[in-house]
Amino acid sequence: MKDVIVITGAGQGLGACIAKALLNSGFRVAITDVSQDKAAAAAQTLSEDTSLVAGFKLDVTQKADFKQALSDVEAYFGGVQGLVNNAAMTLTTPVMDVTAEEFDNVLRVNLRGTLFGCQVFGAYFADKNYGRIVNMASLAGQNGGTASGVHYASSKGGIITMTKVFAGHLAAKGVTVNAVAPGPMDLPIVHELVSPEKLAHLLDNVIPVKALGSPDFIGAMVTQLVSRDAFGVTGATWDANGGLSMR
């Protein structure tokens, strides 16, 4: 049977694109979202074959939810081989206007949610002596970003560091932990958060390739990192930022 990959926050946006890429590459996919209805609808949109894709409820701010989702997915598919920590809260509040509550809310979803996923699924994978974890970071976590808020950028920088910590901890157990760091993507959320004028400026004057990134390509990158052949890659952050940050 094909490996089963769990994706958090996959009811829409980039998570849904990653789910589609995985499904098209032969993986079985568990779509999770804080909304059970949204997860189920996304799964049905991808395929009517319920043996290949299904939706599950998962609030990433609750460690108990990760444990329950793992139990539910394992019972449904017979096992789990990979996790994509994708769920995120994206805000663009000006740096001097970010409140303590807003800062905490973003880090609770983005950073703490990734921590819980790595802990719960990492322990499960280590016990099985195999697993793949991919954490969705961001260009914002490397250079502060082009339009993101300080809380978002800080959380994504933390995810890059967290990826290295868990990679080192789990490597001997056959579990790889990597991150993908996209720049501005051609997604509805980007068009919602960035004004047409600012987006035009970014494309004309800031992004070297003068184009927003492809969500489908990000899906292909994740697909590679969760493959069985990816055993030699761990603790890495793969960039896809249109040349905004070169290293």
Strands (E), 3-120: 4-7, 28-33, 53-57, 82-85
Q: Which domains does the chain have, with CATH numbers?
A: 4-239 (3.40.50.720)
Residues in the chain: 247
Closest CA to 180 of 20, 18, 3: 18
Question: Which residues are marked as active site?
Answer: 152
* Model pLDDT, residue 1: 67
Per-residue model confidence as pLDDT tens digits over 2-43: 999 999 999 999 999 999 999 999 999 999 999 999 999 999
Lowest mean pLDDT among 2-11, 76-85, 187-196, 232-241: 187-196
Q: How far is CA 65 from the centre of its chain?
A: 17
Strand 237-240 to 82-85 pairing? unpaired
User: For the whole model, what pTM was predicted?
Assistant: 0.96
* Model pLDDT, residue 164: 98
Identify the sign of the CA torsion 212, 215, 217, 222: positive
Q: What is the mean pLDDT of residues 69-94?
A: 96
Per-residue model confidence as pLDDT tens digits over 149-207: 999 999 999 999 999 999 999 999 999 999 999 999 899 888 887 889 988 998 999 99
* Model pLDDT, residue 145: 79
Q: Is 60's pLDDT higher than 80?
A: yes
Per-residue model confidence as pLDDT tens digits over 102-151: 999 999 999 999 999 999 999 999 999 999 999 999 999 999 977 789 99
